[in-house]
Amino acid sequence: MTFSADLFAGRTVVVAGGTSGIGAATAQRFADLGARVLSFGLGALMAPANRRIENHEVDVLKPGALEAFFSSVEAVDVLVNCTGVSRDRGEWSKATFDEVMAINLTSVMDCCRLARPRMQAGSAMVNIASMYSTFGAADRPAYAASKGAIVQLTKSLAQEYAQADIRVNAVAPGWIVTPLSRALFADEPVSAPILRRIPAGRWGAAEEVADAIVFLSSDAARYVTGACLPVDGGYLTS
């Protein structure tokens, strides 16, 4: 165990997009560290079970859904925004581009706006950016644009909320093994050149991203705000 088992005891952590992938791993990690975790997203019934995690079915595109969820939450000590999708080349159509931006960017701002009145001094927000915050992506223009915007949104929120002693940071995952990425990694002709470029020499695990999120949410990062931490095995350096 990297962290003290009671690091977040007595605290409430909200994980948007916490029902699968990096979000689910993050919800599990906070629960293991003693937090009460409120996780929401699609497929809540299929999310990993834990006595400290409450999974809620919430569609961020449904009008009023986020407002309804946050109205039931009295206090938030940590907000983690993991909600995100990629539609690959379908993103070149206007309808799909707009949908991806609404999910990946607008819903994140909505969650931060709705959580803010429920947060006190010493609270933290962590958003999920991406290595595509740095790179463009011909195959996923909306995804890349939304994740680049997440970095700037994080900086803007950090400036605004610092006066209330609320920190806002982001992590930028690289090639992480999730249910959505396994097919790509199994396609060796496609994945082999990617793997060769990663200095660490392996794919990342969702739990490793979760650990970075835990750090940024903890008092160990109490003087860190407005930062975007790559969790990519050195991919951006090569």
Going by the DSSP 8-state scheme, the letter that residue 49 receives in this structure is P
Catalytic status, residue 235: no
Q: Give me the catalytic one of 143, 161, 223, 235.
A: 143
Residue 34: exposure state from Cβ atoms within 10 A (0-12, 13-18, ≥19): middle
Residues 6+ apart with CB under 8 A from 88: 139, 140
Cα angle 78, 39, 25; round to 5? 85
CB 150 within 8 A of CB 128: yes
Annotated active-site positions, please?
Answer: 143
